[in-house]
Structure 1
């Protein structure tokens, strides 16, 4: 060993290197003083819960309002245009939540806009639109979801197929792309039932007039007498005509579940591969008994007994989402998307 040490000392830089190592051992750290700092920084960017207050409410259409939410505790975390937050509410003693897309642009860091369209017999939307006022406070998750533009792999022909309330994430994504001057052509093909109930109509039309790379097509399925615009549905022919061909296009689809399913089928018939179609799920299927593998001997109204191990049991209709049944009977399950995408509400059956 002495001979080996003498040999190593003759290597250029060896002695200096050993001296630096010894100095680091004397003055270095195992980073124990930084314990928890990384977690704290991550929590700032993506806290598990946000505490929000309704700062203002805007009436967008007869069926839709925008709720401007500000933080009552710390800064709002950044988000990707197209993402959503899960808003927790308590209605008549039932603790539940609903995911709502952020309709404001990510460059507005001091508030989130949630644009909500009323749903017929909707438990939460009726409460929000008819009973909530400015100053009311809520808790929510941080922004989440994978429904957003990826500049690396999504290409330069971006097509948004929106139906009704699907205009909310469309507004956020379109304004984000246009404000940042992204080198891409953006198309919005926007389907609505009634011409007088189009969310952000003035905003989209103004953006189309201002930006040459934003192309707007509006379609109404239930036109009133004398309506002169496009009517019908977002068929493959209508989509193809509006965007000048589907080649190299990336599609973003958002609206009610039947709308999403219809658009996907139309795109597939045009030869668009599933990897070029991004769909924002909007809750559970409307008619689960129509799905493949639904047992033929069961009706959606049939009652079953749900047992929660060690906590009790209750009756529920088989056509009701299990998450809804649990909440209605006082059992809280962590959840976010309510569509089966995020997996937060998984339970062992």
Structure 2
């Protein structure tokens, strides 16, 4: 059943990176905002006369915690009407019309295979929610690999938190990689996400669930490479940005 449109109130805004912000949204009409980690909400922003041209969807970046507040992490897109409105017009106390939760980009009921979370940029949002959920509820699982690609170390959203979760979740590995980090920084991995999961698999084709979230080019390439490695559409789950 499709959720009704509701009003959310922005309770806090934090700068997460140079062009990325965290928006904390409370739903006053509900005591608890129920959703599954990995789902998204759709905002109806006053940026166009046609309603469907005002809609912008964003993955929820927080896990369900029994409150009526959730978090979105949003990057400012050059020329993007939706993100320009959110960055330039929305402040603490602003009301946002939204619908959700929606989507089926969620964890399997049984985490009986290794999980490969492959993402770029704000595509890390649903995986942060899933990892928080696994840690909070101590959900049994196999190995979990978060393979997170961005340009520079300063773009690595939630970096300290996602690294700290290695201490809380057995068999979880945080594997960021940076495509434009200066050579002088020898402490980080360079390159793109594809080399990392290919190295983990090493031609063995171990059973796994592959979750891909981020920009279309990355997802298209990852899906093609995984198919070549022998994985099928049943092994690969997608959430596309842009």
The TM-score, its normalising length taken from structure 1, stands at 0.64
Whether the 8 Å contact between 2:11 and 2:26 is mirrored in structure 1 is yes
1:78 matched to which residue of 2? Answer: 34
1:34 matched to which residue of 2? Answer: none
- C-alpha distance after superposition, 1:151-182 (max 9, x if no partner): 24x52311100111111111001111122111
Shift of 1:76: 4.3
Shift of 1:51: 1.1
Q: 2: distance between equivalents of 1:266 and 1:158?
A: 17
| Structure (1/2) with the larger helix percentage | 1
2:184 matched to which residue of 1? Answer: 226
Distance 1:255 1:76, change over 3 A: same
| 2:208 maps to 1:208 | no
Q: 2: distance between equivalents of 1:110 and 1:243?
A: 40
Shift of 1:149: 0.3
Match of 1:217 among 150, 175, 178: 175
- C-alpha distance after superposition, 1:197-238 (max 9, x if no partner): 111111101111333321111111112241221111122x42
| Structure (1/2) with the larger strand percentage | 2
Match of 1:60 among 6, 16, 19: 16
| 2:8 maps to 1:49 | no
| 2:114 maps to 1:114 | no
Q: 2: distance between equivalents of 1:160 and 1:92?
A: 35
3-state SS of 1:259 partner: helix
Shift of 1:246: 4.2
Match of 1:97 among 34, 50, 55: 55
Q: 2: distance between equivalents of 1:186 and 1:242?
A: 11
Q: 1: distance between equivalents of 2:44 and 2:201?
A: 38
| 2:207 maps to 1:248 | yes
Shift of 1:69: 0.4
Distance 1:162 1:108, change over 3 A: farther
The TM-score, its normalising length taken from structure 2, stands at 0.90
Unaligned runs of 5+ residues in structure 2 are none
1:192 matched to which residue of 2? Answer: 150
Give the CA RMSD over aligned residues. 1.9
Mark the structure with the bigger radius of gyration: 1
